[in-house]
Chains A and B, each alone.
Chain A
Amino acid sequence: MRARAYDVVIIGAGIVGAACAWACANEGLRVAVIEADIIGGGATGAGMGHLVVMDDSEAQFALTRYSRSLWQQLVPELPDDVEYESCGTIWVAADEEEMQAVRQKKEFYEVRGVSAEVLDAKALRAAEPNLREGLVGGLRVAEDAVIYAPCAARFFIERAQSRGAELYLPRVVTEISAEGVRLNDGSVIAAHRVVNAAGTWSPMLTPGIEVKKRKGHLVITERYAEFVKHQLVELGYLKSAHSMTTESVAFNVQPRRTGQILIGSSRQFDVESKKVDASILKRMLERAADFLPGVNRLAAIRSWTGFRAATPDKLPLIGPWVGRENLFLATGHEGLGITTSLGTAKLLADQLLGRASEIPIGPYLPSRVPESVHA
């Protein structure tokens, strides 16, 4: 007997797909989530798990700020293994020019209602004694946080299931059609709407999506409690994330609740291999040691790579795919998928239900991409 069609089928149980599943199920929609491998098995499980407000553009700021506040509201419900730590971020300035950028950043944040505190050299050393001498100062964004993302994704799926959502795992989607989705065993899951939340795999299912794989490297250490207390990022991080050049590294270090230190970051386009690249690792670790000399003596226990889903304008794709009535996208989040998962889910649910969103949705609509791209 053929089952009733779902209201929405979500492809991908990464943190974005999982958050969308919960948001939709919460609205009473009949939801199915289809995952080819494991919950959080893509960028969600490979990345840094930061919740950070970022100002590369107005639109990015709006979405990250909106999302971060949704995370903050969720804190009382988060299970322990999500390891939410509101350690804050410090954007580190190495010279006077960067310090100028720090002051501009503070103004930008404050005018938009996000508190941020300028630290001079002395205050910076007091906040993070392991940073090297000679740094000029920084910007502390105290409400930024760190989580353990794979468990958050699982939590969202469980919440969605408690509201009736169904998880198909492992199942591989081969085709999105007018009826719903076709799986690799030939069966069809019927749905009124389909959401492609498949991250770096999304262009395979929906040709024409401009999402490219952007490789990153990370290293995690043994436990060294209190080595750093905040997430630390160099101002050059934004340049690295913004630029579309082939490869770059930028200092980004994060304390985990376990006391382990997560060391990043790197960005490369046009590399298919998952192998750890020794020369990129070297540059990334030396950059970290530039800012935190003590990091050199910490024991590194693992290194790995992952792929971010990157779009040309560095903003995610949230909304209906042009020319396809039943197809929506929730993908292309680059390095901000964890942060913006909740905001994405809300915006997506708003659009599925035809209601207004709390922030302008224009910058994230797939239709913002020039017409000529769509087949």
Chain B
Amino acid sequence: MPKAFSVTVNGARVGVTEDMTALAAILLSGTTTLRRSVSGEPRGALCGMGVCFECRVTINGEGHCRSCQIRCAQEMDIRTDD
């Protein structure tokens, strides 16, 4: 059984399991906009495999993290642009 715990997305608690990515946690929280593009457009994930960089969010204070490539961890703090 994969371990279950919670992370926070923009301050709100979300229940996840250890084999979920930060991206899945964000989508589970109901957030669709992950970041704002350089001209201000709302953007979500595109490639799902770590090459497009559209899914960048701030994780534990560090910016520009590809959320589709990062597995959830206990108490992970995830922040999107909006």
Contact = CB atoms under 8 A, between A and B. Distances in A.
Contacts of B62: 297
A222 B63 CA distance: 10
A299 interface: yes
Interface string B47-71: 0000000000000001110000000
Contacts of B64: 222, 299
A349 B11 CA distance: 63
A224 B63 CA distance: 9
Contacts of B63: 222, 224, 299
Top 3 nearest A-B pairs (CB, nearest first) are A222-B64, A299-B64, A258-B38
8 contacts: A222-B63, A222-B64, A223-B38, A224-B63, A258-B38, A297-B62, A299-B63, A299-B64
Size bin of chain B's contact surface = under 10
Nearest to A221: B64
Interface in B17-69: 38, 62-64
A297 B62 CA distance: 9
Contacts of A299: 63-64
Contacts of B38: 223, 258
Nearest to B56: A222
A222 to B, nearest CB: 5
B71 to A, nearest CB: 20
A98 to B, nearest CB: 33
Highest count of chain B CB atoms <10 Å: which of A224, A258, A297, A299: A299
Nearest to A224: B63
A110 B56 CA distance: 47
A224 B56 CA distance: 14
A305 to B, nearest CB: 24
B2 to A, nearest CB: 30
Interface in A345-364: none
Contacts of A297: 62
Contacts of A258: 38
Interface string A170-209: 0000000000000000000000000000000000000000
A223 B38 CA distance: 9
B18 to A, nearest CB: 26
A258 B64 CA distance: 15
Contacts of A222: 63-64
A17 to B, nearest CB: 31
Given A222-B63, A297-B62, 6 more contacts: A222-B64, A223-B38, A224-B63, A258-B38, A299-B63, A299-B64
A15 B59 CA distance: 42
A314 to B, nearest CB: 38
A107 B63 CA distance: 43
A157 B60 CA distance: 48
Contacts of A223: 38
Nearest to A222: B64
Interface string A268-303: 000000000000000000000000000001010000
